[in-house]
Amino acid sequence: MEPSALHFCVNGRGVIEKNADPETMLLPYLRRNLRLTGTKYSCGGGGCGACTVMISRYDPRTGKIRHYPANACLTPLCSLHGAAVTTVEGVGSTKTRLHPVQERIAKGHGTQCGFCTPGMVMSLYALLRNHPQPSEEQLADALAGNLCRCTGYRPILDVGRTFCKTSGCCQSKENGVCCLDQGVHGVPEAEEGVRTSPELFSEEEFVPLDPTQELIFPPELMILAEKQPQKPRVFTGDRMTWISPVTLKDLLEAKSKYPQAPVVMGNTSVGPEMKFKGIFHPVLISPDGIEELSVMKHGCNGLTLGAGLSLAQVQDVLADVVQQLPEEKTQVFRALLKQLRTLAGSQIRNMASLGGHIVSRHPDSDLNPLLAAGICTLHVLSKEGARQILLDEHFLSRSPSADLKPQEILLSVTIPYSRKWEFVSAFRQAQRKRNAQAIVNVGMRVFFGDGDGVITELSILYGGVGPATICARDTCRKLIGRHWTEEMLDEACRLVLGEVAIPSTAPGGRVEFRRTLLVSFLFRFYLEVSQGLSRMDPGRYPSLAGKYESAVEDLHPGHHWRTSKHQNVDPKQLPQDPIGRPIMHLSGIKHASGEAVYCDDMPAVDQELSLAFVTSSRAHAAIVSIDLSEALSLPGVVDIVTAKHLGDANSFAQETLLATDKVLCVGHLVCAVIADSEVQAKQAAEKVRIVYQDLEPLILTIEEAIQHNSFFESERKLESGDVEEAFLMADQVLEGEVHMGGQEHFYMETQSMLAVPKGEDEEMDVYVSTQFPKYIQDIVASTLKLPANKVMCHVRRVGGAFGGKVGKTGIMAAVTAFAAHKHGRAVRCILERGEDMLITGGRHPYLGKYKVGFLNDGRIVALDMEHYNNAGSSLDESLLVLENGLLKMENAYKLPSLRCRGRVCRTNLPSNTALRGFGFPQTGLITESCITAVAAKCGLAPEEVREVNMYQGTDHTPYGQEINTEGLARCWSECKAKAAFSLRRAAVDRFNAGSPWKKRGLAMVPLKYPVGLGNVAMGQASALVHIYLDGSVLVTHGGIEMGQGVHTKMIQVVSRELKMPMANIHLRGTSTETVPNANISGGSVVADLNGLAVKDACQTLLKRLEPIISKNPQGTWKDWAQAAFDQSVSLSAIGYFRGYELNIDWEKGKGHPFEYCVYGAACSEVEIDCLTGNHKNIRTDIVMDVGHSINPALDLGQVEGAFIQGMGLYTSEELKYAPQGALHTRGPDQYKIPAICDVPAELHVSFLPPSKNSNTLYSSKGLGESGVFLGCSVLFAIWDAVSAARRERGLPGTLALSSPLTPEKIRMACEDGFTKMIPRDIPGSYVPWDVLV
């Protein structure tokens, strides 16, 4: 077959690709070949939505056009023949016009770092193309496949709501009363009058959505589709052939010729397998527009659906069918719809086909257990003829007698109608409610032939519990003929646990949780069926009301209602003064249009090379040998850099760049492959052969480090008062420990760098996504043995960082620059998500041990504490994290006698580093856990114990610094009032009394977050301000824009100081060329410090120009600039701030390490499902003392984004390590950051009125990190709900608290008959899949 030409359109323009490579995905083609860099690479596996585009296809048979969102990273280029692709650039731009979606997401403050924004825009755009006035449910569904690490989603949802049919209200008339009439949950607001401050954006100003103005489907593609030649298209690459049959006959012919070739529709299964598991297929068959694969017909026994229908199309068909047919016939359809709503994101559902999902037979498939339980039939076809296969456990376990033959294709699936007295249910439990693979799922069906309650047929199939979907066939057989009673349920549970065995070493871990879910789901099925029987024949079957009703109800959906109360601008302030106003992020429009340039968006430099790292596969081993020969022999490979090449430049400060004779963790950088392309570099990296010899001991956990005395540095200690004496005064003494897991930064833009040698004087320009350009400059200069003045580091913007783009970034940039210097060619290195998570480390896991002495009223008189953090294999910033955690550990409490010691543990994990909050989210949680334990022991509410121990007025910290805590008291009392805490506490208790299986919890947590860097030098900052002769201004400073809006705030500062419109001021980016020796951007002080330097520069200029301005007060800046030039007055000024006067003496444990404190309080209410461990955030109220906000829109974004990130830290983000030290969780498939579905249904954030602090920039406070800790209010609310369940069940004592509180921990803490009946494994008798580090 001769190669075909690929015809498709991108943004309305035709593309003809004569040499389409079957291995090329749409994403790299858009970015490299078409230079459309708005579509971003973030995970490469369809899990984050950053690469979302809209694909439109025309069906000549129906004359209809289908628009749908798709992940460009998984869409093969060859699959696009005849399709129209729309990217963010095609939606709108600053050069043409902005689309309403782009305008609103920018002006509605829905962008921070902006890296996820093009994907968000495209998901919203595709939604609006299909539903110009969507419902809120459709909005949430459209965004479920998009992740954002910065915003906390609230502003994105608010923007989306402006397109919805109704807006502003919860849309739920509970008891016939609207939420806006009744306050929250029927609880009136504490403050009458104004609910919110002036809006952060004005809906009236938005351009209306006009569906008639959208891009039309290209007419040439319609003609192409109408006149399509009926012969297969063939595309051939270096290694792979792609065949696209367009008739059923050709498809069968191709499958007969290439029986081992997989049939690919959406590439959502084959694609990730090829990318992440290295499975290679020389031939792929991709049917295109074959009518027989898209059938939808009702037969007398069931509904037949074509195997080529996408899951989204199946969802639409089923939604129509359940509306048309009587309920008793649609049991399977309804259960399928329930599973489809939470399966993956909208992008994947629109790409994945029904047939592909079935034939892939993933062990955790959500649909296959249900289709098998529903006795579905598969219609398969080959050149030999047609036959039918039962979709049952034999097919799902790939039994040869029940499987497709290699030359057969799946044509369609028949799903039978259900019968009267037949009940079908499906359940799933995942780490996150949506867009997360199931931990366990199940499809269940029971049929009572005559409605007499005797089981005639029973099917139970589980997913996620073994290498294939498992049927509990023996259990079902033994239960036939039994009555549907509790005795039957008890026996069913015992039988299932005996038949469906999950071994203690099972991949995926969570073994006891999974065993518990087997029977918990069975119980829920029993109840759902009982409920159905009761509805059909109430006389024979009693109602569930009371005892069991709550077990089958869904978690509280919540009214989606959000308010924010920020600060009003002083009426006396000049209207043109932007300080205190909600100014849009400087790059917001560019984020939304895809025009904002990130490191990897920079055009390729002539003769540019790519670099890929080779990392260690062992955690602690000697390197016996490295064989580079096979890798070097591959085409396109230029060089491989090892530690030998670097020589004595292989170390910098305490860090080694590349491993020399041994490796200290899985992910340790060993060498770097340099090749002509990224693909060639990665392929060669896999061919580097390293022989290791394992070394002892292998230390992974904190406990192992303590046991082996494996620590960095000496102990750090903080002490105040006489602890031993104070313990003698206590009424009670309690001891406990808290373990807290780590956290991945999960910045949306992975580590990215481009080193460009200038050719002259050995100069090197390094473009890096980093928070610390000076460090990059220093480490690169050291590695190249050049003075720093020859190396310049440039940063335009960073796509999220959170502390993770400093140390390891520097090491990788140094190796990249070394390769560029050696070969005299530019070298680019962009990490894939899995590599990034493996190499870079994250937040430190912590172990806290405490001994607390307290009085019976809850007052703490003595506290003795030990902190251990898991640093990993090198020191990095671990000691600073430990020190910072110690200095902030008391949080909001006056602890008169305190001793706290901390150690940094050296282990064989990738080195952990700074992450937003820098130690405090861990140590603060340990202290709050201690408070909760004291409260339980005293029989008091935790909030009472918090109040009685809280700082009052002006007081001193354990290290002797004086602080004024008025703001703390105000935040606490205002949060309590706004949240109507007492009323809701009573409401929660009432709910819990009547609900055995769903429990609610309410918790309120205070916050004292000291801000400062501990010494003067770390706080110095510089800025450069130029005034040009046309009156425009260019400002440069040392801060990095990584989403927090620092550049926007700096322009606000210049505007105020020079009394100049913001439109006249420009900021290009950060560079060591313009501002030297700048400190790291972090620690919540970037705007503070750089703003004071910018202000200083502006005041210097004003002082110089004052005589000129006073002579011509009515003049313009253009007039004044020209006059100054004519009089030889310099129009350029350097601004400088030397840093706050801060210090700490660790020998004495005394000092003044912080400049001020951010105060706050958060109250959260949750509902948990005791059967599954699910939880729902019903409502969160946050009150913050932010000083005098420079930009309330940006500050609100920081508080909300930090809170949601903290909520993830404490509830869903779980890093899993193998016992040999390898990280299991290497992408969004395994590691779950919060998604849209996790945002509290109600979120109310308010700022206290402005307070003065003379030393800071306009009395503002840095808010970047403090809000993370408030996420633990959700953890303690969950714990409150769990405690209610345990009390009701008469369970003894309090359970040790640990973080994150995942569904697994929630379920296993709510002990009941089901957790007691599962088989338990004896620790130490087996090697688990993962270890707690």
Please list, in sequence order, all residues whose beta carbon lies within 8 angstroms of the beta carbon of residue 628, skipping any fewer than 6 positions away: 640, 642, 671, 688
User: Which is catalytic among the residues 422, 974, 1265, 1304?
Assistant: 1265
Distances (CA, A) of 592 to 50, 967, 1167, 1240: 12, 37, 35, 25
Query: How many CA atoms lie less than 13 Å away from 1202 in the CB half-sphere?
Result: 28
Across 184-301, the runs of DSSP E, i.e. the strands, are 233-236, 241-244, 283-285, 296-298
Strand partners, 564: 1245
- Strands in 609-615's sheet, in edge-to-edge order, are 637-641, 669-675, 609-615, 827-830, 752-757, 764-768, 791-795, 1070-1071
Query: How many CA atoms lie less than 13 Å away from 936 in the CB half-sphere?
Result: 22
Strand partners, 1034: 1026, 1066
Active site residue 686: no
Quote the CA–CA distance of 78 and 431 in Å, as a whole number. Answer: 35
Do the strands 711-720 and 732-740 form a parallel or antiparallel pair, or are they unpaired?
unpaired
Please list, in sequence order, all residues whose beta carbon lies within 8 angstroms of the beta carbon of residue 824, skipping any fewer than 6 positions away: 757, 759
Q: Is the N-terminal amide bond of 635 cis, ω within 30° of 0?
A: no
Q: What is the 3-state secondary structure (H, E, C) of 659-673?
A: CCCEECCCCCEEEEE
CB of 799 within 8 A of CB of 594? no
Q: Phi first, then psi: give them for residue 487, nearest 5 degrees.
A: -65, -40
Where helices occur in 753-844 by DSSP H, the ranges are 773-784, 807-823, 833-840
Choose among 427, 443, 451, 424: nearest CA to 534.
451
CA dihedral for 1304, 1309, 1314, 1319, sign (positive or negative): positive
CB of 338 within 8 A of CB of 420? no
- Strands in 1175-1185's sheet, in edge-to-edge order, are 561-565, 1242-1247, 1175-1185, 1156-1169, 998-1011
Residue 390's CB is within 10 A of a number of other CB atoms, namely: 13
CB of 133 within 8 A of CB of 165? yes
Token pair recorded at residue 528 = 């759902």
Helix (H, G, I), strand (E, B) or coil at 100: helix
Choose among 39, 338, 47: nearest CA to 1233.
47
Please list, in sequence order, all residues whose beta carbon lies within 8 angstroms of the beta carbon of residue 110, skipping any fewer than 6 positions away: 104, 117, 120, 151, 155, 156, 158, 159
Strand partners, 1036: 1024
Helix (H, G, I), strand (E, B) or coil at 428: strand
Quote the CA–CA distance of 776 and 778 in Å, as a whole number. Answer: 5
Q: What is the 3-state secondary structure (H, E, C) of 291-312?
A: HHHHCEEECCCEEEEECCCEHH
CA torsion, ordered 964, 968, 970, 976, to nearest 10 deg: -160
Burial class (CB in 10 A: 0-12, 13-18, 19+), 64: exposed
Q: What is the 3-state secondary structure (H, E, C) of 594-652?
A: CCCCCHHHCCCCCCCEEEEEEECCCCCEEEEEEECHHHHCCCCEEEEECHHHHHHHCEE
Choose among 473, 594, 485, 580: nearest CA to 114.
594
Choose among 84, 69, 74, 71: nearest CA to 23.
74
Active-site positions?
1265
